[in-house]
Structure 1
């Protein structure tokens, strides 16, 4: 049996932001969301540049080490942008993505506080740990998990990609199960909806497109003050098209590949 992704993405600037700093891509072989780090310059450029450099065309990944190397190469591109324009110093982005290997494994890459969830047998399972100040407080027992969503410093992250040699990203294998529904989302979703609301929304909609639209709409109705991006992928039986070019959303759609500096 072979597997592929059946994906959909919805990205909304939201009513409180002047630009969309979320970027995303989808394909039958992979999908990801990146969120420009708040408080830094050009978060929209950081997320879009990273995504475009990572997947300028179809992507064939066979091992975790190969994916990690590709992400690091894309991260170096951010450093090249800063060298060309010092005013961009400090720009950075989160990144969370899943990738199907030719032998039907699933690789999950993550840094920052954009999240990955999987809905399996009607149960929502979180697949990433936030790299954030608030998560560190929860882990140390200094903050109750239920208080994390309303903490005034919940948007301070402790890991991201900004072109630095010390930047950290994790890549891990996850079980690929036909029938699973994956959600990759920016914190404009996860900061405003609890796991129960997310899980019920994913369950209510048979198709990925309406599910993504409903999740983004619910986050906006719940008062999200950020950009809101949801990537939903159903794991289905079939061969991933390794020649398929990715579709882009958010800042990655607004900043087309040819508009980005190409760093040799």
Structure 2
């Protein structure tokens, strides 16, 4: 099986700077997306610190460990790397007044033979398109999600909630952070979408599903998603990562390497 990747970011229609950041290391199946927050350009600093740190540190560890490393060890490495990145961002925020209060969301994926190890913090999301079924596979760490879980709001009321962007967990805002981490099966033909809320707040799930179905080319799908989010208002920066699994695992080998080339 091979994996094809594509990433894109867009400043949107309402902002001057881009606080979203993405990073890829196709050689080890590593994808990272972050949506920063904070005054001045602090959100931009936090998101770029996070994606750069994880690509460098976790990417190097995955290369050195090879494809035979146990899933439990990869999970542990992901936790440690995010913890170290959290401390670096937290310390920067507390030693430089310009960066006070900065933080960032995170979606972190490591694609392996046994599936997608997917970690997240905050309200940036991951989705999976399998056939015609489009599902959100992360659960927002947000006040709005807690209100929905408690039955205080209906999904219809949540659309108009003023708490939509209040996260309950973020990287860099405290001296420790908990990465929510799950393993997801991958089937040939699956398309995974990681995105910031600049996309998911602008487009309903069914609209994203239809755009992915109508645009089988990942670069075209990315552009269609961004264009439609901007047409709906583009109220925030937009970042996305697309990954598609192709082919079958050969009977004599379980290796997925090499990964497909990234477009763009």
What TM-score, normalized by structure 1, do the two folds share? 0.84
Q: Which runs of 4+ in 1 moved over 3 A?
A: 38-41
* 1:87 paired to 2:92: no
- In structure 2, runs of 5+ residues without a counterpart are 66-70, 248-254
SS in 2 for 1:225: coil
Which residue does the alignment assign to 1:22?
A: 20
Offset from partner CA, 1:122-167 (integer Å, 9 cap, x none): 1001101111111111111111112223212211111100163332
| Structural mapping, 1:132-171, within 5 Å | 132-162=142-172, 164-171=174-181
1:184 to 187, 191, 194: 194
Match of 2:252 in 1: none
Between the aligned partners of 2:39 and 2:92, the Cα distance in structure 1 is: 18
When residues 27 and 5 of structure 1 are mapped into structure 2, their CA distance, relative to the original with a 3 A threshold, is farther
What is the distance in 2 between the residues matched to 1:168 and 1:90?
Answer: 18
Post-superposition shift, 1:14? 1.2
Q: Distance in 2 between matches of 1:45 and 1:149?
A: 30
Deviation at 1:83, TM superposition (A): 4.6
- Higher mean C-alpha displacement, 44-53 vs 163-172: 163-172
The separation in 1 between residues aligned to 2:158 and 2:32, in whole angstroms, is 24
What is the CA distance between 1:4 and its match in structure 2?
Answer: 4.1
Please tell me whether residue 10 in structure 1 is matched to residue 8 in structure 2: yes
2:65 matches 1:67: no
Distance 2:53 2:170 in 1: 16
> Which residue of the partner structure matches residue 36 of structure 2?
36
TM-score, length of structure 2 as denominator length: 0.84
**Correspondence for 2:257 among 232, 240, 243:** 240
Q: Residues 201-220 of structure 1: matches in 2 within 5 Å?
A: 201-220=211-230
Task: Tell me the matched-pair count.
Answer: 243
Q: What do you get for the CA RMSD once the two structures are aligned?
A: 2.4
| Whole-angstrom distance in 1 between the partners of 2:200 and 2:21 | 16
> Is residue 113 of structure 1 aligned with residue 111 of structure 2?
no
Question: How many angstroms apart in 1 are the aligned matches of 2:232 and 2:47?
Answer: 25
SS at match of 1:55: helix
Residues 105 and 123 in structure 2, CA contact (< 8 A), matched pair in contact too: yes
Choose 178-187 or 161-170, whichever is displaced more. 161-170
